[in-house]
């Protein structure tokens, strides 16, 4: 760590965030022949340490003789104030080196409300915010992660951006930067070379065209540049490296446990869900391999929990046997197994029962919409009957506390759909009273989020409801859910509004972002840190209207600022899905039904890989 922080540690909250020395942290020597990369997470340590993507990159990069990776997190506001007061720049945890000393600084873009933290970290690290302002001595600032699929609002701040899966392309990047460093290749030339790598986007090589304030398209500045940047995707997860060690933090962090990724991608095709579009196709990891990965991680970390992670863990073909085997192997040593994202079906209850046995704390289901009609619109293929079966089964199995996730502001929503949420919540409570076997009274928590249109989804064209409408709908629900046994939790509408504006943003939002940071905006996803008034001021000063970005209905024929950033899904598929949605027609999952012609397998030469098929060979 940075020794200059030592005298500050007694003065800040949770000082162990800044002290390093965790088990399995890698302290590689800074020799001139090594490419150095900072993995910069745009939030505090407690959040960033739970991120699996960076654990994977950390282990890949540090596994190379000629490279090293270190971790950097945003200091919390108390520490930031002290650092600024004493003129201490942002440094990496392992070596305590300045952020600006690294060859590469890589940010992950997990959600839109973390964008201000990126600029703040560059400021604290004394790296010029804009790529155009950086010189030969400055690091190359790169980004990846889900929001890279519309990185335009951040385009001016990154030298280059990676679309899709990082495990393979990271080697190509390191090789190239290593060579450039050795030969003293100028920055611009290095970027030209990087732009030739598949999946790499250099925003400064593309110019957006506007007419009458409307986005018209993206123009490549060099003839050899591709008009579309296609994401990187691995055919077979089994061929990708996975860490044998995780850094074990001392302080409490999110997802502080052994994590293995059992499958990647999801083809259920929920029409609001970006993850379900950009991570296609579905690829499962072999259960034998997963067992080995778990065994290595358990012994290298000493963790007391194993989590099987994916977008929808119940979909893993051999989930039941995998869970059984893991429980049999680890339960006696006090190691538990958890499945963080279970889909709503009765199978989920059986699985959850397997996992939780006696301590039946809480189960979470996500019907997303209150009526069958709207669930068909969003392609959440859950029927009223499914809901009834699963809820009754859960209460019968001994659970008494259920959490239900819904969204408001979805396309075609009417008052009936809102009433449906309230009715469903009461119905679930009634089933609880009828079917419960637990001694405790049934409790239902209804959590309501506002719909945010996301790029590359069939709902990308649909505008978010105005703030007042969302607030009214929340109010409407609150009144109807005032009932003993029902708890109601809401997302702040201002959060969802900003998220939508940036999710559908274009390059002009860069100026807004900069101004917002200057006005003190950061940690926007933290309820108590959001400065909404400052945000509105930043938009005003840039002459832009956030509502225009968040709430406008976009004509599907219009060019979109993210059209050139491709996850492999065809736009005509998205348009077809958008039309089917309005007719209330579902599209089945291509894993078990006919191909939905999304284009991913054809465009990227990949296909769904389920393990059962492998097992039978």
Number of Cβ within a 10 Å radius of residue 149 = 24
Number of residues that bind another protein (CB under 8 A): 28
Given 87, 135, 184, 334, the residue binding another protein (CB under 8 A): 334
The reply to whether 251 sits near another protein by the rule CB under 8 A is yes
Q: Least separation, in Å, of the C-beta of 20 and another protein?
A: 9
Residue 3 in contact with another protein, rule: CB under 8 A: no
Helices assigned H by DSSP within 93-159:
115-124
Least Cβ distance, residue 295 to another protein (angstroms): 13
Site for another protein contains 21 (CB under 8 A)? yes
95: contact with another protein by CB under 8 A: no
Binding segment for another protein among 321-329, 351-359, 368-376, 541-549 (CB under 8 A)? 351-359
505: left (phi over 0), alpha (psi -120 to 50) or beta: beta
Contact window for another protein (CB under 8 A) among 49-57, 354-362, 513-521, 553-561: 354-362
By beta-carbon proximity to another protein, the closer residue of 11 and 605 is 11
| In the complex, least distance from residue 207 CB atom to another protein, rounded to whole angstroms | 49
Q: Considering the rule CB under 8 A, would residue 359 count as an interface residue with another protein? A: yes
> Which parts of 195-318 fold into alpha helices (H)?
275-278, 287-301
Q: Does 96 bind another protein (CB under 8 A)?
A: no
Residue 437, interface with another protein (CB under 8 A)?
no
Task: Decide whether 304 or 419 has the Cβ nearer to another protein.
Answer: 304
Q: Tell me which residue of 26, 21, 29 sits closest to 2, measured CA to CA.
A: 21
Interaction of residue 357 with another protein, rule CB under 8 A? yes
Under the binding rule (CB under 8 A), the answer on residue 10 touching another protein is yes
Choose between 99 and 335: whose C-beta lies nearer to another protein. 335
The answer to the question of residue 114 lying near another protein (CB under 8 A) is: no
Q: Is 336 in the site for another protein (CB under 8 A)?
A: yes
Residues within window 280-309 making contact with another protein, judged by CB under 8 A: 298-304
Q: Does 610 bind another protein (CB under 8 A)?
A: no
Helix, strand, coil % (nearest 5) of the chain?
40, 15, 40
Residues 6+ apart with CB under 8 A from 414: none
Q: x-or-dash pattern for another protein, window 36-65, by CB under 8 A?
A: ------------------------------
Check binding of 327 to another protein (CB under 8 A).
Answer: no
The whole-angstrom separation of Cα 463 and Cα 445 is: 28
Residue with smaller CB distance to another protein, 77 or 248: 248
Question: Cα–Cα distance between 11 and 582 in angstroms, integer?
Answer: 56
Query: Whole-number minimum distance, CB 256 to another protein, in Å?
Result: 9
Q: How far apart, in whole angstroms, are the C-alpha atoms of residue 320 and residue 116? A: 42
- Please state the closest distance from residue 67 (CB atom) to another protein, in A: 25
Select 183 or 332, whichever has its Cβ closest to another protein. Answer: 332
Q: Which of 434, 449, 445 is nearest to 495 (CA)?
A: 449
Is residue 211 a contact residue for another protein (CB under 8 A)?
Answer: no
Nearer to another protein, 332 or 385 (CB): 332
Verify binding: residue 16, another protein, rule CB under 8 A.
Answer: yes
Which of 309, 283, 370 minimizes the C-alpha distance to 56? 309
Q: Which helix (H) or strand (E) holds 58?
A: helix 52-62
Residue 252 binds to another protein (criterion: CB under 8 A)? yes
Q: How far is the CB of 70 from another protein (least distance, A)?
A: 18
Whole-angstrom distance, CA of residue 154 vs CA of residue 147: 10
Closest approach, Cβ 19 to another protein, in A, equals 5
Residue 302 or 527 having the CB closest to another protein: 302
In the block, tokens 């055919």 appear at: 235
487 binds another protein (CB under 8 A): no
Closer of 138 and 245 to another protein (Cβ) = 245
Residue 195 contacts residue 225 (beta carbons within 8 Å): yes
Among the listed ranges 248-256, 312-320, 435-443, 514-522, the one in contact with another protein (CB under 8 A) is 248-256
Kindly give, in sequence order, each residue whose CB lies less than 8 Å from that of residue 118, ignoring residues fewer than 6 positions away. Answer: 40, 42, 107, 143, 154, 157
Burial of 414 from C-beta contacts in 10 A (0-12 / 13-18 / 19+): exposed
Beta bridge partners of 70: 38
Of 249, 256, 248, 275, which is closest to residue 264 (Cα–Cα)?
A: 275
Beta bridge partners of 142: 106, 160
Is residue 232 a contact partner of residue 162, using CB atoms and an 8 Å limit? yes
**Cα–Cα distances in angstroms (integers) from residue 493 to residues 351, 414, 475, 530, in the given order:** 35, 19, 12, 12
C-alpha span between 55 and 95 (Å, rounded): 18
**Which H or E element spans position 142?**
strand 140-144
> Quick one: 201 exposed, middle or buried, by C-beta within 10 A (0-12, 13-18, 19+)?
buried
Output the smallest distance, CB 226 to another protein, in A. Answer: 48
Question: Does residue 616 interact with another protein by CB under 8 A?
Answer: no
For residue 30, state whether it binds another protein (rule: CB under 8 A).
no
Work out whether strand 160-162 and strand 140-144 pair parallel, antiparallel, or are unpaired: parallel
**Nearest approach, Cβ of residue 273 and another protein (Å):** 33
Residue with the two structure tokens 């279970």: 342
Q: Determine, following the binding rule CB under 8 A, whether residue 558 of this chain makes contact with another protein.
A: no
Per CB under 8 A, which of residues 565..584 are in contact with another protein?
none
Q: Of 286 and 305, which CB lies nearer to another protein in the complex structure?
A: 305
d(CA 153, CA 508): 7
Residues that bind another protein (CB under 8 A): 9-11, 15-16, 19, 21-23, 248, 250-252, 298-304, 331-334, 336, 357-359
């Amino acid at each position: 760590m940075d020794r200059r922080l030592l005298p500050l540690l007694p003065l800040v909250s949770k000082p162990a965030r800044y002290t390093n020395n965790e088990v399995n942290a890698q302290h590689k020597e800074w020799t001139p022949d090594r490419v150095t990369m900072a993995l910069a997470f745009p939030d505090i340590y407690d959040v960033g340490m739970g991120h699996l993507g960076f654990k994977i990159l950390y282990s890949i990069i540090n596994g190379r003789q000629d490279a090293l990776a270190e971790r950097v997190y945003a200091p919390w506001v108390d520490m930031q104030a002290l650092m600024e007061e004493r003129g201490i720049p942002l440094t990496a945890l392992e070596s305590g080196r300045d952020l600006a000393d690294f060859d590469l600084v890589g940010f992950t873009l997990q959600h839109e409300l973390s964008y201000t933290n990126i600029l703040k970290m560059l400021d604290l690290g004394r790296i010029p915010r804009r790529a155009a302002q950086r010189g030969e001595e400055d690091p190359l600032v790169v980004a990846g992660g889900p929001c890279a699929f519309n990185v335009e609002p951040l385009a001016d701040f990154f030298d280059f951006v990676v679309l899709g899966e990082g495990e393979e392309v990271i080697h190509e990047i390191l090789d190239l930067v290593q060579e450039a460093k050795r030969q003293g290749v100028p920055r611009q030339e290095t970027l030209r070379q990087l732009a030739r790598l598949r999946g790499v986007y250099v925003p400064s090589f593309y110019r957006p065209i506007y007419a009458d304030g409307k986005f018209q398209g993206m123009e490549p500045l060099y003839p050899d540049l591709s008009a579309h940047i296609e994401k990187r995707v691995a055919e077979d997860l089994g061929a990708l490296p996975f860490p044998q060690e995780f850094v074990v933090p001392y302080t409490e962090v999110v997802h502080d446990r052994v994590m293995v990724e059992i499958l990647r991608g999801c083809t259920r095709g929920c029409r609001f869900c970006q993850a379900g579009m950009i991570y296609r196709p579905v690829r499962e990891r072999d259960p034998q391999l997963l067992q080995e990965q778990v065994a290595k991680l358990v012994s290298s970390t000493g963790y007391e929990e194993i989590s099987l992670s994916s977008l929808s863990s119940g979909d893993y073909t051999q989930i039941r046997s995998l869970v059984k085997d893991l429980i049999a192997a680890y339960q006696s040593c006090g190691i538990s197994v958890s499945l963080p994202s279970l889909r709503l079906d009765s199978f989920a209850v059986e699985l959850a029962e397997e996992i939780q046995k006696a301590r039946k704390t809480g189960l979470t289901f996500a019907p997303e919409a209150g009526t069958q009609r709207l669930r068909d619109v969003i392609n959440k293929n859950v029927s009223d009957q499914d809901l009834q079966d699963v809820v009754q089964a859960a209460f019968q199995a001994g659970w008494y506390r259920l959490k239900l996730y819904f969204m408001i502001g979805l396309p075609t929503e009417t008052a009936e759909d809102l009433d449906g949420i309230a009715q469903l919540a009461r119905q679930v409570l009634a089933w609880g009273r009828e079917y419960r076997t637990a001694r405790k009274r049934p409790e239902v928590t209804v959590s309501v989020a506002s719909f945010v249109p996301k790029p590359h989804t069939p709902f990308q064209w649909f505008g978010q409801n105005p703030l007042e409408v969302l607030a009214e709908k929340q109010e409407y629900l609150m009144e109807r859910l005032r009932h003993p046994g029902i708890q109601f939790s809401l997302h702040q509408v201002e959060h969802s509004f900003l998220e939508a504006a940036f999710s559908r943003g274009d390059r002009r939002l860069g100026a807004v972002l900069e101004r917002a940071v200057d006005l003190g905006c950061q940690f926007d996803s933290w309820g108590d840190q959001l400065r909404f008034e400052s945000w509105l001021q930043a938009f005003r000063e840039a002459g832009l209207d956030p509502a225009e970005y968040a709430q406008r209905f976009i004509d599907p024929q219009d060019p979109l600022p993210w059209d050139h950033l491709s996850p492999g899904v065809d736009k005509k598929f998205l348009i077809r899905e958008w039309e089917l949605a309005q007719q209330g027609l579902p599209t089945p999952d291509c894993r078990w039904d006919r191909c939905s012609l999304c284009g991913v397998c054809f465009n990227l030469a990949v296909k769904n890989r389920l393990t059962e098929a492998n097992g039978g060979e």
